[in-house]
Structure 1
Amino acid sequence: MRALEGVVGAVEYPGRGLALGRDRDGNGFAAYWLTGRSPASKQRKLVVSDDEIVVQDVSGGSTDDLRHYTAAVRADGWIVVGNGTQVSELAEARRSGRDLQVALRDHAYEPDPPIRTPRIFATASTDGTGITIGSARSVPGAEDLVQHPSLYLSELPPATSVTISTYAGTAADVITSGTPELVTTGTAWTALADLIWNQLAPNLRVALFIAPLATPTFEAALIRHQD
């Protein structure tokens, strides 16, 4: 397995990415990062409340569901993380007891042709078990079709996580991804914020959060924003 920071650093333009798993000490965590090419995409910040983390516009302009959305929701015993409006919808599906691998099939990639950005998400119980990660992405070679690659793991050992990103190319040549990967996380979760942030291209990185799963709110989340 590759290390999480190595996966992040291997791609110039990951778009949005997330990771969910356990650090070296077995502590569960969730992380989410944003990069952007356009001025509008860079004019964003993360706003933290007890049970939500929201990607918010800072330009004073109009909001856009593709750039401004709830990126994380937590409730009694679980968390959902992702890159768009599907996060709130999948959180409602989890509240109602649905299997989120099945609920994911209600979603398609983002309406932004010709890129067709994947909608990514991950969920877990706050004890770090019952991890599901996946995406709604276009089918390579038949881009109008939708596929839903996903992975379920009942639990992960310490120093192991799952990760997924929307893109896998460069800022000049955007390549869609949305494929889950199992990775190592051989440090404390508190150190991962800087490890991931420093792997993102300085001219593209926008924001990042990493939050422990065991706390009852997002208050302990670590946040990074562009300079």
Structure 2
Amino acid sequence: MRSLLEAAGSTEYPGRGLAVGRDEDGVAFIAYWLTGRSAASQQRRLAVGEWEIVVEDVSGGARDDLRHYTAAVRAADWVVVGNGTQVSELASARRSGTDLQLALRDHAYEPDLPIRTPRIFATASTDGTGVVVGSARAVPGAEDLVQHPSLYLAQLPPATAVTVKTYVGDVADVVADGVPEVVSCQGSWQSVAGVWDVLEPSLRVALLVVPLNAPTFEPAILAF
């Protein structure tokens, strides 16, 4: 099993990535990070509220739902995080008691041909139980079709996380990913902010790490 830092830093251009895990002390956390190739993608920030985390434009330009969206939603005992408009829809499904592995099947990859960026997401209870991480991605070799790889863990052991990112490869050769991976996660939840240091400096935009044992998102660590 490789570490979260190794997984996050294994490719030059990961696009967007997320992780849900428990640190060595058993504290559950989520992490979300953005990288960008274009000027428009670089001009974003993560805005943290009590119950939502939003990816916002900082250029003053028009809203683009592929770049500006609610990235995380929480209730008292659960959280949903991801890279697009599916986050709000999956949060509504969770409120209604729907299985999010099934709800994910209502979603497809992003309409950004020819890349077909996967829509990634994770959900968990705030104690680190009931973890689901998955994506809606193009089928390799049959890209007009959609597949929904997902991973369910009833209980995350301490010092363990599940992570997923949108891309593998580099800036010149963007390759869709979206496959969940179980990784080790040493240290405290605060140490997960080290993901920032393994991202390519010219591409990184923002990173957030937040513990789930707090009543809101506001204790988040931000890097940008």
Q: Same fold (TM over 0.5)?
A: yes
1:145 pairs with 2:151 = no
Three-state SS of the structure 1 residue aligned to 2:70 is strand
Aligned to 2:220: 221
Task: Give the number of aligned pairs.
Answer: 224
**CA offsets, 1:47-71, max 9 Å, x none?**
0110000000000000100000000
Q: Partners of 2:217 and 2:79 in 1: how far apart? A: 10
User: What is the TM-score normalised by the length of structure 1?
Assistant: 0.98
Aligned to 2:209: 210
More strand per residue:
2
Aligned to 2:196: 197
Three-state SS of the structure 1 residue aligned to 2:217 is coil
In structure 1, runs of 5+ residues without a counterpart are none
Three-state SS of the structure 2 residue aligned to 1:175 is strand
Q: Partners of 1:187 and 1:170 in 2: how far apart? A: 29
In structure 2, runs of 5+ residues without a counterpart are none
Three-state SS of the structure 2 residue aligned to 1:33 is strand
**CA offsets, 1:153-197, max 9 Å, x none?**
00011100100000011011001000000000011111211x100
Code of the residue aligned with 1:54 in structure 2: it is V
Q: Partners of 2:10 and 2:213 in 1: how far apart? A: 30
Residue pairs, 1:79-94, within 5 angstroms: 79-94=79-94
Residue 76 (structure 1) shift: 1.8
Q: Partners of 1:197 and 1:15 in 2: how far apart? A: 13
Aligned to 1:68: 68
User: What is the TM-score normalised by the length of structure 2?
Assistant: 0.99
Q: Partners of 1:192 and 1:165 in 2: how far apart? A: 16
Three-state SS of the structure 2 residue aligned to 1:191 is helix
Code of the residue aligned with 2:109 in structure 1: it is Y
Q: Partners of 2:61 and 2:157 in 1: how far apart? A: 44
Runs ≥4 residues deviating over 6 A: none
Residue 36 (structure 1) shift: 0.1
Residue pairs, 1:1-227, within 5 angstroms: 1-193=1-193, 195-225=194-224
